[in-house]
Amino acid sequence: MITFEVMGSVPDYRSPESSLLYSPAEYSFLVAEPPQGEVGSVLVNDLELHVDMNGVVLYVDGYAPSLGWVAVQLDPPQGTLVSVRARIGQTIEPGVSYRLVAPHDWPIVFDPENGWICCGQPTVADEAQICMIRPDTVLVIESGLLTAVWLCPASLPGD
């Protein structure tokens, strides 16, 4: 089982300023100028949480067809900029993706008004840790388990 732990400050080598984009033609999120140091990833649906050799989540991108998103009103969780480590339970092999959630297991909802997309559970429990790993990317962790990935790309499909 893959668990997650909040570690504290953001590593110096990660640039939280690079932009999260959505490509309607590819039905995918991508990061302009992704940070260096990525070794493997954790898969949530077909989104990739890219990790370094220590399991620290650097950024999120990957396949997420907007055709299946459901429009709702969302109140994105507010967090502070921190580092999150994925505990995979084995040595992270370069280029390998470790599946946390099968494709289409977690619903994806979006708010066309504020631009936020949530993959997973949009309701955040009081005891949840709200972890902003980049200004446009928030991970929600409850008792060491990832419950949601929140993304706010520079533009939504149809903008």
Query: Looking at the 3D structure of the chain, how many domains does it have?
Result: 1
Q: What are phi and psi of 66, to 5 degrees?
A: -65, -15
In a domain, 156, yes or no: no
Report the alpha-carbon distance of residue 109 to residue 154 in Å, rounded. 17
In a domain, 59, yes or no: yes
In a domain, 17, yes or no: yes
In a domain, 159, yes or no: no
In a domain, 26, yes or no: yes
Q: What is the pLDDT of residues 94-118, one digit of tens each?
A: 999 999 998 889 999 999 999 999 9
Q: Quote the domain boundaries for residue 40.
A: 3-151
In a domain, 157, yes or no: no
Q: What is the pLDDT of residues 5-37, one digit of tens each?
A: 999 776 554 555 568 999 999 999 999 888 888
